[in-house]
Amino acid sequence: MHHSKRPIAAGLVSVLLAAGIAQAKVSEQEAARLGSELHPFGAEIAGNADGSIPAWEPKWKGLPAGLEYEGPGHTRPDPYEADEPIVTITAQNYQEHAEQLGEGQKALFERYPDYRIVVYPTHRDFDVNDTIKARVKWNATNTELDNGVETLKQYNGGVAFPMPDGYAQIMWNMRTNGCMESYHVAYDGYGVFANGERAHDAVDFYQSNPFNNPENPVGTTEEVVGDRIVWTLSERLAPQRKKGEMTAVQGPMDFQKDKRNAWTYDPGTRRVRKAPAIGYDNPDGPGGLQTIDDHKGFNGAFDRFEYTLLGRKEIYVPFHNYQFNNKHNGTLDDRLTQHYLNPDYVRFEKRRVWVVEGNLAPGKRHAYKKRRWFIEEDSWSPVMSENFDGRGNLWRVGYFLSDYQYDIECYEKHSQVFMDLPSGAYVSNFITIDRSENNHSIPYMDKKHFTPANLRKKAKR
């Protein structure tokens, strides 16, 4: 497919893209458009027809002048704190805004008469990290897929496919959108049940993205870096009965060839063992109100679903969510209201999003029969998901909160929530209001930190 024919102008993307198995490498001439005619990550620079989505005109890279920031680990100041809402959407008026809402959002209004979405002006003011820009431009002319959607090849960090031509590239972009090298966060998760009771867990968490290792020059691929795209290490802080449990995970870039490697340390037996398959629809989070592969939008193998690119839409989604974890603005209890997170702390903007649908593949099993992901165009962050049960009824609606992280000059997702419509409960995790924020400025952590040997070493402390 010739990318020069790609319909960059507003509206839904041509159905041509829906086949989505092509390799997605582009010519040098095409890639030269990144950062000039296109956002460095491939988004359309122009605003939309009515101006409700402005053009991308970066005036800041890193911390905007005049904002006070104590640095990594502290509350990130909100450059848009003075914004007034444009519109508040309620159960009474949501039909007037139906074109800008997902099916899950409409279901929330139908289910909860007091639910609301507070919409603020859309901002596209931030530039992104120069090293990641260079990695992304390199990917544009080199990175490709194999085995349908399962295998990433010739990849060097950053967004894999800034000029995608189908669902497969977009799904990988949702996974590779992080600019971090390594980061550390301790966070809380809460299951909030309809009767007001809560389940709580807390985790101390480290992650490294080996392809973003600052020592790797642009163009360093899996031949040098290896076949793992993400490493994580987590230690349970709560509940008490699970305190001290540790898990190390190494996630592959080739799901056809490799499984996710995972090991757990059990403080009861004081043993490290290889974990059974961590993934797919195993219940996860406090209260078991999400699946393992719900985390961060979607993770793990792709093989349970068949995918379709539904196109690109302009809808209201969570974005620039600085206030949710802001220690200077209310308490945790203010956020965890009944049935859904307090709408006063969840900022929505009209953004361009790519929409991909997965339907359960013949002969495969999963708790979800159908799922949809909404992936924001400038950042490639997932911003919303819709999950359907075995009868095809909408079951869980997910929101993924994100903001621009000053220490890495890039957008990252942080807190998330899954609202379980039948039960009236929800689960939210990666909440840091009672702890310290994500710290992306820690020294790069290499593979030895994410091994069974390191779990044993940590257990002896």
Q: Which amino acid is at 233?
A: L
Average pLDDT, the chain: 94
Please check whether residue 115 is in contact with residue 106, taking contact to mean a CB–CB distance below 8 angstroms.
Answer: no
Average pLDDT over residues 252-263: 94
Average pLDDT for residues 297-312, to the nearest whole number? 96
Assess whether pLDDT exceeds 90 at residue 21: no
Mean pLDDT of 413-434: 97
What pLDDT does residue 20 have? 36
- The domain that contains 280 carries what CATH number? 2.50.20.10
Query: What local confidence, expressed as pLDDT, does residue 121 receive?
Result: 98
Distance CA 238, CA 322 (A): 26
What letters, b where the CB count within 10 A reaches 16 and e where it falls short, cover 247-281?
bbbbbbbbbeebebbbbbbeeeeeebeeeeebbbb
pLDDT in tens, 145-184: 999 899 999 999 999 999 999 999 999 999 999 999 999 9
- Give the single-character DSSP code of 99: G
Q: What's the pLDDT band for 277 if we cut at 50, 70, 90?
A: confident
pLDDT at 397 > cutoff 70: yes
> Strands (DSSP E) along 276-409, which ranges?
283-284, 290-291, 305-318, 347-360, 370-376, 382-388, 394-405
In sequence order, the 6+-apart residues with CB closer than 8 A to the CB of 405 are 76, 411, 412, 438, 440
pTM for this entry:
0.94
Per-residue pLDDT, 132: 97
The answer, yes or no, to whether residue 17 has pLDDT greater than 60, is no
Q: What is the DSSP string of 126-159?
A: B---HHHHHHHHHHHHH-EEETTTTEEES--SS-
Check whether 43 has a pLDDT greater than 90: yes
Q: Is the pLDDT of residue 9 over 70?
A: no
Q: 301: closest CA among 263, 355, 364, 256?
A: 256
Q: At 65, give phi and psi (nearest 5°).
A: -60, 140
Q: Coil, strand, or helix at residue 421?
A: coil
Higher pLDDT, 430 or 3: 430
| pLDDT for the residue 6 | 39
Average pLDDT, integer, range 219-245: 97
The number of domains in the chain is: 1
Q: Note the pLDDT of residue 166.
A: 95
Could you tell me which of 405, 348, 335 has the C-alpha nearest to residue 376?
348
Q: Residue 262 in 3-state DSSP? A: strand
Distance between CA atoms of residues 82 and 86, nearest Å: 13
% of the chain residues with pLDDT over 70: 95
Mean pLDDT throughout 319-334?
97
Task: Identify the three-state secondary structure at position 234.
Answer: strand
Q: How many CB atoms lie within 10 A of CB 19?
A: 14
Q: What pLDDT score does 23 carry?
A: 59
pLDDT at 311 over 80: yes
CB atoms within 10 A of CB 106: 17
Given CA atoms 281, 375, 354, 114 in this order, what sign does their dihedral have? positive
CA distances from 175 to 44, 64, 95, 297, 446 (A): 20, 27, 33, 8, 20
**50: pLDDT strictly greater than 80:** yes
| Predicted pLDDT at 251 | 95
Residue 461 is predicted with a pLDDT of 79
Over range 130-147, report the average pLDDT.
97
**How much is the pLDDT for 7?**
39
Host domain of residue 31: 3-459
